[in-house]
Structure 1
Amino acid sequence: MAVSAFARMELRCPRELDPCPNWTLGDVLTELDALQATRRAAPPTPLKQPPEWASSAREKAFVMRVEEEDDSEEEDDNGDEDSRALVTTGARFSCNDLELSFEESGDELDCSGTSYSLMEKRSIEKSILLELEREHHLKIQEEVRNKLSSLEVCHQNEIQRTISAFARLQKYAESRKELDRRLDVQFQRKIAEVLDKHLSMVQSDHEQKSQIVERRIRDDAAVEEAKRREQSMKEEKIKQERTRLEAEARQKAAAKLAAEAQKAAYEAAKKEALEKEAAKLRAEAVSTSGQISQNSVAHATIVNSIEMKSELPGIKVYADSSALKAESRRRALQDQVPSNIYLSKEFSRHDRLIGKSISKLMPTTDSVKARASELIKALDGQDCPRPIACRLFADKMISIVKSRNPKDKTFGNLAFACGYVMLLVTNQVPDAMDYLLAEFHKVCMYTVPKHLHALNAQARNTDYYRLIGYQEEDGKLQSTEAYLVNAVAYVKLYAAMIQTEIKGVRHPHGLAEGWKWLAMFLNTLPAITATAFALHAFLKTAGFALHKKYGSQFMKILDVISRQFIPALKEQGSKVQPEAISNLENYLKDKKHLEEPEGQYLAQQLLSKGYM
């Protein structure tokens, strides 16, 4: 079918819309040029009847659908229904003066300057196929777009879930850290509570054991006191009975003498006999008074000899006057007992009995009680006079230093056991304390306290060394080291006796005497090696008890040692052994006065055979 007239149309192509998304501008121009060339080359043909397939669309015009990308989905749906109707008025049509223009204001296509004719025949099936292909393409684009949108949404959701999961993980980690920290604090608190509870139990157990030991000792002492009182009551009754009998005898004698005198009065012959008897009595009285004067002269000679010994030529005595007087009094009391008492069989047997009892002494509660009971019985016995028994007891008790090794670590525990025994015995037999102290002063002058200093080399002879306490070993004087070891052992034993305390038991020479000894020691004795060793031994043994009783006053004593005694030691230079200085410095530095000395409290029984 020929077209006599051409329809002129302008195809507007907005920036946002494109009839065929796959076409380019060059493709459109090429297609239009091809249509124009075909139109010019074909001759005009007469009009014919339209075919049957075009009859139904004769009156319909050609419709071109253009989509805008910015429209909504509802407009796309409405447009699809309209775009499906493609109607042609004939098999051939021409576009006269078809112009496509591109506007300068945007990307619009301007075709106003060129006209193209569309002479190609188009079938409705092909148009429908093209439309279906275009719709399919659009549908695929829409699906791809939807798929991309859904993927993007899923990606964003996944990112959000990842961020939230990471936040939850971080929050969980922080909560776990906080929980671990709380558990750690709770665990440490439990450990501290358990440790505190354990220490409290140990301390309470220690105090309970100490109280049990003290209670047993106190009970035993009470039992012994009761026995002693019962014995004393029996003795008192015996004495009273004896006194009564003696009084009766004297009364009988007096009555008899009165009868005789009365009888003599009547007998003048017996007058001369009475005068002779009176003369004889006067002579006996004169002889008795002379004997008394001779005894007083002998006693004065002994006192003078003691004073002369204390003032040997070339020797200077460092001691307090009250300490020297107490020493002289105790030594005089000890000298009243003959030194040859060991030659007597009776006394030697008593000496062996006391020595055997002391040799069995061990640092246990049972041993201390048993030995104290045996010794009290020995001192209260009727077989041996009290002064002799006291001297034997003091000699055997102090000689334990010689029988046991003073260098052994167990000697300190044994010294405290001896302190308990000496306290229990002297509490029942007070006279024994003076003999103990006299024996202490005899073997170690630092228990007075006293120091004898030789002023020149001539004074440092054998007699001088014997006088200050050196002992003979195989006919020779012992070494200075052995002398210092023995001196330290005697001071430890003396300090152990001083610091021992038992509730309910009075101490005749307790901590008050130890405080006095320490004051006199620092005030009168010089700072040398021997005195430094003696001072350290005393503080190590009795320092804890003195600090417990005197507190701040004892700290002043330690301050005097730190500021005066130790510097005076250092000034001696090489004359003083370094160990003597280091012992005192370590005692003050480590605050040993706050620690209980080892062995102060007795065990129930021995845990080792080291003492055997």
Structure 2
Amino acid sequence: MKRITVRGAVKLNLRCSPLRVDGIAIDPEPNWSFDALVAELNSLETKLASTSSTESPLFTKTMSRGKEIGRGRPFILRAHEFEMEDMESDDDDDDNDNDNDDKALVVAGNGKRFTCDELYLSDSDDSDIVSGFEVQPYLMDEVGEVEGALFELTREHQLRVKDEIRNRISTLETALANESQNSTSSLLRVEKYKETRQEMDKKFDTQYQRRIAEALDNHLTAVQRDRELKSQIEERKIRSDAAHEEAKRKVAFEKMQQEKAKAEAEARLRAEEAKRAALEAERKATMEAEKRAAAEAEKRAEKDAKERDVSETSKRVTSGGTQQESAGHPTDTASSLSNAETKESGNVYRAATSALNLEHGRLQKLKELCERNQAIRSSYNTDFTRHEGHISRNIRQIRGIRDNVRSKASELTKLLSDPKCPQSISVEIFAKKVVSYCENPGNDPFASAYVIVLVTSQVPHTMDILLAELHMACLYTVPKHMVYKKSTFQSKEAYFRKIGYREDDGKMESTEDYLKRLESYMKVYGALVQTEIPNVQNLHGLREGWAWLARFLNTLPANQYTAVSLNAFMQMAGFALFRRYKSQFLKMLNVVSENFLADLKSRNIPDMTRTITEIQSYIEDKKFLQEPEGRSLQSNLLSSVYVIN
């Protein structure tokens, strides 16, 4: 609340124009600004400060009556002190002490200005002030219409000015209060921001110090780790040098032991060779004696046959018979058979001499390899069972898939060259396991053939060892056939054992099982000779397959064993032989059809009906023009096929 007291008579000039109209003062329409009003109030306070401090006991209002109020004459309003006290009794409690002493004097002269002795302005309700200016009948006489209108206009003007001043002051106080509140809140925010910033700076300082400490700790840890690593490297180097020296000593010791064992093995081999030489000489002497005895027996048989022929001829002549033999000459037949038959250890084989020579060379290599491996096993006293298991497992896992064949061939080549096991032992194991795997009717002949070609191209001498094992398992891979003679074999079972029948618990296997196994061997052999791989040499390729077919048709008889062998071979190798030899192969098929099949049919063997039908269908339907199933290896995707040749 703001109070302004005006003491004494002060002139207050109203800034309005015009001041008079026809000699009558008119209430102006003020156009004061707030700044102008404040300046005017300041000037009033300055004038009041210079006036007398004596207060008038009465507030007097004098006003001219009737004709005394002329145009432009001032009027005076007077009031007693108790009347002012009654008018101000309703003000606020805070203003009671000052209001009792306030007095006012308003002088208006000539319609130009008015002065107030004391003027009290308050922010509160001005009902008391307004009531003081109400028209009271005992203070004012009747006036004219002009004076009454002027009075009303003056009163309304004063009220508007008071309201405007009060509103401006209220607005100013509100603005000042808001500004003060905003300043206070801004200061509080600044202080709060300052405190927050200080806390953040403290946190940042703490984090920075922590990071510095961590970085220093990491650096020290890294330095310590580097030192430990260097010390470990030095220790490892020392241990490695020591181990290297120890290994050198062990190698030297092992080398000395190997040389000693080798010398002992060579000595044993020489002794065994001498023993074998003696046995071989004895065997040769026995064989020569048997040959001489057989030759003499044959000569005697021929002499007896001639004598019988002469006696029979003489009898026919004496009896006047002039009959002549209608078919063939026995002597010619006998001579032709003797050309195809070869005696070996008392047994009669039908085979080409070149095939027997190749077989003998391969068997001799296998024998020497086995003897050498036996010496190594006895001298080293090492168990190679684990190595043998690795080779056997890789062979059993062969499948007709390109990647499988490549991987298994690579693994087997590494196993054959493994320094932990002598290569001769690895080669022997490989050959035996492959031949054993061929016995399984469910094996893939073409996949096995691919693996054999890939491995033997890296380890060439393995091929002869493998073929020797195959010849021992199946004599028709030579090809050769053993002739059954009662004079040579004590029983039929002995003959079966000789040609490869197996015996389990004293019971001989059936011919059907033997023929199935024989077919499996021949299929692998036929797949082997026709396998051709780019940039890989097949040591037993199509040339050997052509030679086998020619030797087979020239020397072997037609029976159930040879028929199964020929059918299995042509099913595997016929397609490749035709592509290589064309018309020559067709001539071979004519020989098979006209001679071999005709001779086979003439024997009337019931069990051979299926085999005869298959061979005849192969030739007549020209199945040799169709690629056999499984010859082209599959890729990993079943929908694509990869052909190696």
Q: TM-score, normalised by structure 2?
A: 0.46
If asked which structure has higher relative contact order (CA below 8 Å, sep 6+), I would say: 1
Larger Rg: 2
Q: TM-score, normalised by structure 1?
A: 0.48
